[in-house]
Structure 1
Amino acid sequence: MLMTTSEPLAFDDRRGMTADEGAALYRLMTWLSPGFPVGAFSYSSGIEWAVEAGDIVDAASLRDWLAAMLADGSGFCDGVFLAQAHRAASARDDAQLREIAELAAAFVPSRERQLETSTQGRAFIEIARAAWSCDGLDERVAACGGAVVYPVAVGVVSAAHAIPLAPAMHAFLHALVSNWISAGARLVPLGQTDSQRLLAALEPAVVVTAGRALEASLDDLGSATFRADLASLRHETQYTRLFRS
């Protein structure tokens, strides 16, 4: 019988998930939910300046801005760093992990974005250590050397907990886009329904970007979102601000 779009995806409900699969999903849903206290709500990644400058005025312009940031800017780059950090941590390659952590920290285009990603990375690791400690986590964090930016922190902690890379990547990008939308919704402003429409509209871009980041190497890193980078720089001197970036 042909499957129609109204039929459910094939899944053996009798088997369900293994204990390890259920634990991995539970942790990802917790770590990358809006309720996980990394302080993401206080950062806008330059969106606040873009709204004041008139680049973002409604749901459509916010969608276009975020789609570019995701596919051609910091979203893709963060995904690459997460993937590379996860693989190096899983292989216990301390030298490679340190190089990735240092490059990721140096790759941030502005002081406020550096504050944003390093503060969230530090909070993510500290809370994971306090509530979700596991064997090998401290050693992997120490191997990173100095400041650990957010995508590297997620990659390292996920690897230490033996959480597969692909779901960690998708959960991270979903959380990233959700926080961008939350900031935009407060600034434009937008209602809750429009925010959910935006999240649904960006779903294909998240899936494609995750796939690209999983296949990419460090040589594939690069950004073409110059206006977004300028926004994060100009936000530093913006007179009236709700957000820290």
Structure 2
Amino acid sequence: MSGVLDTQALLRLMAWLSPAFPIGGFAWSGGLERAVHDDLVETAGDLSDWLATLLTHGSLWNDAVLFCEASRQFESGAGLKEVAELGLALAGSAERHAETLALGRAFVTAASAWPAEVFDLLPADVPFPVAVGAVAAAHGVPVENALAAYLHAAVSQSVSAAIRLGVCGQSEGVAVLARLETQIGEPAEHAADSTLDDLGSAVVQADIASLRHERQNSRLFRS
């Protein structure tokens, strides 16, 4: 059950997970660019299926579990260090490692405009979901609300990348977001009660696409 999301918490979530927040999320596609190149994602329907699978069985599910663990550990430097190291170890390719690390570092730098003790506890090398989960918890944002916003932002970024890659237009992209509301809400609810034992991925094609992107010559994105 989610807690009460007050106006201040809502405003902070809107700021932290806005496309305008200075973390450089627009530069990454999480392997989607290679999936488009390899004709694995050709239409808005393909994109919806791709993202739904990541939410339930792939990297976004693991992000959700890590996010919630970081939320629980936000007052423990040792706990945050452990979950951060695990999050980085779970990155399936060099680019995915670089992506989550770059976004995590940039988020910590930008979010420090809202002072909190958690910034002294977070390790220097922190993956993105761990950074957001810990900071949101430190500011009293209910974990289910914070995670739903995080996952929605991640899906929105992928849709934006797909539009730039020519997979779909803006209207189709908005329809994908509408179609995925349930797939975003359910992982957010389930992950709130998860433990690290629930980590796991079964998206072999997505992992291979991320690995193959490292050798792609012509590209718009860094991953």
Q: TM-score, normalised by structure 1?
A: 0.87
CA distance in structure 1 between the aligned counterparts of 2:119 and 2:162, rounded to whole angstroms: 36
Deviations 1:181-215 (A, max 9, x none): 11111113321110100000011100111112112
> 1:146 Cα shift?
4.2
Matched, 1:105 2:83: no
CA distance in structure 1 between the aligned counterparts of 2:172 and 2:192, rounded to whole angstroms: 30
Deviations 1:51-110 (A, max 9, x none): 111111111111111111111101110010010001111xx2332222111101111000
> 1:165 Cα shift?
1.0
CA distance in structure 1 between the aligned counterparts of 2:82 and 2:167, rounded to whole angstroms: 40
**Count of aligned residue pairs for this structure pair:** 220
The answer for the alignment partner of 2:207 in structure 1 is: 229
Q: What residue identity is the alignment partner of 1:127? A: A
Are 1:63 and 1:202, in contact at CA under 8 Å, matched by a contact in 2? yes
Q: 1:139 aligns with which of 107, 110, 120?
A: 120
SS in 2 for 1:37: coil
Q: What residue identity is the alignment partner of 1:21? A: D
Q: How does 1:73-84 map to 2 (within 5 A)?
A: 73-84=58-69
Q: 1:162 to 1:140 in 2, by over 3 A?
A: farther
Q: TM-score, normalised by structure 2?
A: 0.95
Are 2:41 and 2:167, in contact at CA under 8 Å, matched by a contact in 1? no
Are 1:121 and 1:148, in contact at CA under 8 Å, matched by a contact in 2? yes
Please tell me the root mean square deviation across aligned C-alpha atoms, in Å.
1.3
Matched, 1:128 2:111: yes
Q: Which runs of 5+ in 1 are unaligned?
A: 1-17
Larger radius of gyration: 1
CA distance in structure 2 between the aligned counterparts of 1:30 and 1:138, rounded to whole angstroms: 18
Matched, 1:94 2:72: no
